[in-house]
Structure 1
């Protein structure tokens, strides 16, 4: 197979059949091969290609005949061949031994010779070497050895008292026919417990990797599930294959165990212009790590992703840093960031997001069409945190609580919507009460004038003019009645116009609108009904307009006659004024005019007594509605509290004793104090409001008690003097606002600060070190999410022990179903986390770059070398990682 080095830039699972037999193997079964070697090999190749096999291991019994012919044919079709053989130890335990893809048949013959077969001409005969000696020898020869069919005849676990062989540190894999769970109950559950490392007699420091590698003695057998397994490598080669078993938990999978991944992913990032001009990388769907010396551009890469998605930094410092990085590294050359992604929320569709410096992001779909989506519509759950941004968030309780709320699942969001609707209704009710009270005050002021006006009228009556001017209040009453007649006619005319505007418009049911609909005929029939309704109403409108016109016509002469009679009465009044005797220096005309004005005022105010009663009834009705709304609000807030408490408990269980969350619904009483402080209570400062913080009463309860008076306030809340006086002086509008005040929830966050398997010890987040606070938040960020998590050097503010013991373990689990991208200089994350893609940033001619040969997983030699040079860690940490790096 031609070496396609450029395509091997990230680790992925390769499907491997590791016990494939050549044509002559069937003789070991006592059968005759009916196919020629070339026909057998071709059929085997066809079956392998059909099954998606990318690597095979050849394992004839004590023979390497046929290696070269199969290898040549398979390599031509892109399948890598690890040559080898099956061999039995002196205890008759069967093993499969595989070697580098470049090993020649002659070299393999020499290795077979060194394994001291009893009869070199009969590969079925066992070796003189014990199982332990075989394992040592094969490893010394640079090969890989695994226990074949270990639960069947001649298998390592089938032969008793071989636990010392099982525990050999250089035996890294054992073959089983199916899944580990399939072994449940077999031999009293012995096999399953051994593979789960729960049998004390077979306990290993490193768990044994379970593989499926059943004998393929006929071409079609390679298609069976038990014939192959999955090995993660950057490039399919023997060196990477062997290294995979040093981290089998991450890199070795049975076909039945491979998780389906439906998460979103950033697939490619490309730069044109700017500091990272020319960088073009493809990310893994799982764990990705950008490493490099300080100043090489790790933060720049991540901040450019943030820029492309137009994500808002969570803190002011992060915003300032983001702007500086973008201006400096993208702005000078007006560079472009281009990101290709797969969106889970849009069912796996692919899009490209492009953003030039100074412009808005542009989203293009796979067909090259500009999409209406915003980048965050594609990855709504994406999380990106710059350097120190998580640390800054931990310092702010509101930011912490907002973060937690994003991970809460339940009905509380629906209750939030219901609560918002009720609060909107309460606000509308409050405004209505405010207007009604204001209108009542105005009317009350008018009505309160009536006794004084009536008394003044008596003084005029004493002058004997009442009889002469008794027509005045009657004329005023007639004017009010005339205005009411005009209002009624106008109201009918307005209703007619409104009805005209409400007529059906069936354009929305036109033939063109219905074209292609499966039930268009039904809608055409409905259109006929609406058209008939419109025609009928139009006919009625003509009649109604005529009725209104007739009313105007009939009323006109009546109004005219009434006006003439009233004018006559007014003239008679003028004459009557002349007959009024002068008094107190005022002429009869002046006295009459004053009395006339006084009587008009009295007649105008008299109806307002009824209006006042109506206003009070309206206010009573509004307060009745308000009580129902407040009760509804209580019901929703209680239901929300119950729901969110359940959500918090579920989230705490997900955190698996790492972080504990405790919610206190409506627990933030500072908002209560702040409201009262803003009311400018006379003589009442913050210290005199301490009783509010200490209490457990609601704002609406306090408002109700204030309305009851000073005695109730003193009895219920224990306040006295200045505070009581100030509270009872609060205007009604403020009490209404107080009833609507919603107190925020408080969330207690505690971190388990113990290491290992010791009993959990939780400490509140405010009592933790900076590193521990950030660890608590990071545990939340690592919870299930279908969109990527991108972090810039999270280790800067993390406790290193927590990274190694907890964060890395969670990463290894979470990366199976979520994409991560970290910029880091801490070896624990990419090495222990077993990053599928590691990109090494370097600088040349003041430009950042990630060369092709400097990206891939830790099984790429150049990446190993650079990772050892760049990633920080002391001697002890390096020694622990040495084996993973592949160093001696």
Structure 2
């Protein structure tokens, strides 16, 4: 019990047993203890107070307690005492601290009862009142110098505090210091209006608890239920919970539904074969500096594959290596939001492996099990580089923007392809003047041949060569078309259609039958495409034969062509050059035609680029709105922080990247800044240069600088398009920008920022107090942690007592280290051993703690 620290359990504060005169048990007497504990277990009651009427039976209590302990059930000794108060007396449930009142086979409870019932007969009757009023009863109890508390029984029923006492008496009693000190709860407060009236009379509120007031085993657990949050099966733990009732007492069952780490186990290294169990709520790793707190935090981070931040990354990596050592392994057991259990294992230097409850590897990431876990190591909270605010918010909303990153990559690739097409097209268009000049030169040379009559003599060879080129071109185009058809045939969409036609519906079978017919008709096109490919292939082979035939004819005419060339004897004219010139003339004319054709599609490419840019901006706006929604939630959830966001507002980031991208362009600082202010990002700059004739940029730079900028963009546009201007987030803490606060105040703001999130299963922070002051920890951080911990698992490594003590840490892990081994002892703040560890580690030992307490008490009027 309490392996995971403090936990919610069902409690019954009003139990009677066989020793009570009013209790009826019809079974075998030697079976009573077993039957009684069995019923408690069936009702899931893990804490009970034995409160028989005006009576305490030591042997029976010891027998019940011994048996209960075997079932992880805690029983406390008590008595239901009828005191002389009000109209008919009132029933009080007195709970005794066992260590004080019971010593082995002797006890002081009956001695007290003998005192208050002195001279009164038949005291075991439930309506028999003792000879003391409430004040006298407390005075008698206090005379023993032993600890106890009083719970007012069934306050609205006969002999109940509210039923028997009028408003004046309640006001009078509740003003007494002894009443406030010892009366700490009311049982069976049922009526809301009466409870409000009771609180008005008293001037303060006490918790309402439940108890079955059972008169038989069958009645155990009857009526309303009561739950208590404790971390130790002791009187002190129960009383602490009753005094902190706002956080530790409930009439509703509290089940943790959020994902969380259940345990961390080390195999090998400095924590070999040690397993640490964690609470779903607040876990505090405590220890002196250098004790190994950070090592455990970093081992968890490492196993869950959560990357360390830039701040002190090398140190954090070395910490893990030092803890695990070669071959060391971390095993983290996790429960997800659906109460399914998993194990994450990681050997030092290897990848993480996620296993299901059957020990099978399932190939998922930790983020699919734990919802947006967050980690902040030492120095992370004081890391304030440009854009840290957006990085932090991105951690918090990680999964909500993940698909934006994928879509943005696709759009950037698409935009880059279209820009590449435009550059290629522009390059070709730039060749047009050269092509025309080359054509003019060739035509001039051909005219010389024609003027000498050689065109007639050589025309047959030239015509055959032209025919050969045309047939060859037809062969190439047919084969390119065949490739396109094969790509269409292998389309993944066509493959998926094969699966779609097999789908059936339980709800609308007829509709899906018709769907299958249509899908099948589309799939039939696949066969038609295959047939077309066959026809095209056949034509390709035929054209190949034609090419071979004309090449054979040209080969048979080689001697004829050679004879014609030998008969030509004109100085400075080589007959072979004429054929080459005609071939080049034909080729250049085709190139010019192709360039002229591409000139017509330039507008289409430019339109696609503008469309890509608009799609990109719309996607960035959608992402911006996700951030903005989160910021509005943060602003609503607390009053210390105020966040704002500006779309593409981080101009400093854009400015720095401009400087890096355009090195060597001789642009000065002020001009870079002007470019960053007049363009939202690199994509806007590139579009201005490429599509808008540098309308904006040309007014900012010289002609020589613009020329250099164009060259650099042409070389680096793909990388530049991927650089985005981040959104700018400003965080104000108590009305002042966070960057203008001290390190401690900035860190405080960031911790509040982190704690204000609603979608994180796990938040790990290593020693936040290094950058915080105690007042801020108590006034703001602890308050927020206590509010959030029922729905978020926190793991803090700390050497500040405020976090585990004032945060009411459900699990405390006290860490100690020698040169060879790191050890961890766990327990809640209710646990005496852990309390001593906190005093020793965080307060400098008991003597220092006592001395400070003494001094602080002397300052109570300060």
1:828 paired residue number: 802
Question: Are 1:504 and 1:534, in contact at CA under 8 Å, matched by a contact in 2?
Answer: no
Question: Are 2:55 and 2:110, in contact at CA under 8 Å, matched by a contact in 1?
Answer: yes
Q: Say yes or no: does 1:299 pair with 2:297.
A: no
1:625 paired residue number: 608
Question: Are 1:271 and 1:335, in contact at CA under 8 Å, matched by a contact in 2?
Answer: no
Secondary structure in 2 matching 1:747: strand
- TM superposition shift of 1:612: 1.8
Q: Say yes or no: does 1:47 pair with 2:42.
A: no
Aligned-CA RMSD value: 4.8
- TM superposition shift of 1:429: 0.9
In 2: Cα distance, 1:503 partner to 1:99 partner: 76
In 2: Cα distance, 1:475 partner to 1:624 partner: 44
1:236 paired residue number: 233
- TM superposition shift of 1:144: 1.4
- TM superposition shift of 1:597: 4.6
In 1: Cα distance, 2:374 partner to 2:694 partner: 55
1:801 paired residue number: 775
- TM superposition shift of 1:802: 1.4
1:325 paired residue number: 319
Equivalent position to 1:57, from 36, 49, 52: 49
The one-character-per-residue Cα deviations of 1:370-422 (angstroms, maximum 9, x if unpaired) are 6645666654633343333332xx32243442221222389654444433322
In 1: Cα distance, 2:352 partner to 2:691 partner: 59
Secondary structure in 1 matching 2:598: helix
Number of residues paired by the alignment? Answer: 820
Secondary structure in 2 matching 1:430: helix
| Uncovered stretches (5+) of structure 2, i.e. residues with no partner | 504-508, 858-862
Residues 414 and 650 of structure 1: is their aligned pair in 2 closer, same or farther, counting only changes over 3 Å? farther
Equivalent position to 1:789, from 763, 786, 794: 763
- After superposition, residues 726-875 of structure 1 pair within 5 angstroms as 726-727=705-706, 730-731=709-710, 734=713, 742-751=724-733, 761-782=734-755, 783-784=757-758, 787-843=761-817, 847-850=821-824, 855-872=826-843
In 1: Cα distance, 2:3 partner to 2:540 partner: 87
User: TM-score scaled to structure 2, two decimals?
Assistant: 0.81
Question: Are 1:664 and 1:746, in contact at CA under 8 Å, matched by a contact in 2?
Answer: yes
Equivalent position to 1:160, from 154, 167, 174: 167
Residues 606 and 338 of structure 1: is their aligned pair in 2 closer, same or farther, counting only changes over 3 Å? closer
User: TM-score scaled to structure 1, two decimals?
Assistant: 0.78
Residues 795 and 481 of structure 1: is their aligned pair in 2 closer, same or farther, counting only changes over 3 Å? same
Equivalent position to 1:388, from 356, 379, 386: 379
- After superposition, residues 304-315 of structure 1 pair within 5 angstroms as 304-315=299-310
2:417 paired residue number: 428
The one-character-per-residue Cα deviations of 1:109-136 (angstroms, maximum 9, x if unpaired) are 3223444689564552545655455456
Secondary structure in 1 matching 2:5: coil
- After superposition, residues 390-409 of structure 1 pair within 5 angstroms as 390-391=381-382, 394-408=383-397
Question: Are 1:262 and 1:786, in contact at CA under 8 Å, matched by a contact in 2?
Answer: no
Residues 471 and 612 of structure 1: is their aligned pair in 2 closer, same or farther, counting only changes over 3 Å? farther
In 1: Cα distance, 2:413 partner to 2:850 partner: 62
1:211 paired residue number: 209
In 2: Cα distance, 1:410 partner to 1:369 partner: 25
- After superposition, residues 446-845 of structure 1 pair within 5 angstroms as 446-457=435-446, 474=463, 477-488=466-477, 490=479, 557=549, 560-561=552-553, 564=556, 568=560, 571-572=563-564, 574-575=566-567, 577-578=568-569, 580=570, 586-587=571-572, 589-590=573-574, 597-654=580-637, 656-677=638-659, 678-680=661-663, 682-695=665-678, 713=696, 719=699, 722-723=701-702, 726-727=705-706, 730-731=709-710, 734=713, 742-751=724-733, 761-782=734-755, 783-784=757-758, 787-843=761-817
Residues 667 and 554 of structure 1: is their aligned pair in 2 closer, same or farther, counting only changes over 3 Å? closer
In 2: Cα distance, 1:399 partner to 1:814 partner: 24
Residues 792 and 482 of structure 1: is their aligned pair in 2 closer, same or farther, counting only changes over 3 Å? closer
Question: Are 2:643 and 2:730, in contact at CA under 8 Å, matched by a contact in 1?
Answer: yes
In 1: Cα distance, 2:527 partner to 2:450 partner: 64
1:756 paired residue number: none
In 2: Cα distance, 1:574 partner to 1:89 partner: 146
Question: Are 1:113 and 1:120, in contact at CA under 8 Å, matched by a contact in 2?
Answer: no
- After superposition, residues 324-343 of structure 1 pair within 5 angstroms as 324-331=318-325, 334=326, 336-343=328-335
Residues 340 and 95 of structure 1: is their aligned pair in 2 closer, same or farther, counting only changes over 3 Å? same
In 2: Cα distance, 1:881 partner to 1:839 partner: 29
Question: Are 1:291 and 1:298, in contact at CA under 8 Å, matched by a contact in 2?
Answer: yes
1:109 paired residue number: 110
Q: Say yes or no: does 1:12 pair with 2:7.
A: yes
Q: Say yes or no: does 1:146 pair with 2:151.
A: yes
- TM superposition shift of 1:555: 6.6
In 1: Cα distance, 2:364 partner to 2:113 partner: 63
- TM superposition shift of 1:454: 3.6
In 2: Cα distance, 1:543 partner to 1:707 partner: 44
Residues 706 and 89 of structure 1: is their aligned pair in 2 closer, same or farther, counting only changes over 3 Å? farther
Question: Are 1:665 and 1:745, in contact at CA under 8 Å, matched by a contact in 2?
Answer: yes
- After superposition, residues 193-208 of structure 1 pair within 5 angstroms as 194=199, 202-204=202-204, 208=206
Equivalent position to 1:124, from 105, 108, 127: 127
Secondary structure in 1 matching 2:238: helix
Secondary structure in 2 matching 1:83: strand
- TM superposition shift of 1:369: 5.0
In 2: Cα distance, 1:376 partner to 1:697 partner: 33
Residues 310 and 478 of structure 1: is their aligned pair in 2 closer, same or farther, counting only changes over 3 Å? closer
1:170 paired residue number: 181
The one-character-per-residue Cα deviations of 1:678-727 (angstroms, maximum 9, x if unpaired) are 2347442112233345557565555555568899549xx9x56x546634
- TM superposition shift of 1:829: 1.0
- TM superposition shift of 1:765: 1.5
Question: Are 2:606 and 2:691, in contact at CA under 8 Å, matched by a contact in 1?
Answer: no
1:757 paired residue number: none
1:84 paired residue number: 79
- TM superposition shift of 1:268: 3.3
In 2: Cα distance, 1:503 partner to 1:264 partner: 38
Question: Are 1:270 and 1:339, in contact at CA under 8 Å, matched by a contact in 2?
Answer: yes
Residues 69 and 776 of structure 1: is their aligned pair in 2 closer, same or farther, counting only changes over 3 Å? same
2:246 paired residue number: 249
Question: Are 1:285 and 1:819, in contact at CA under 8 Å, matched by a contact in 2?
Answer: yes
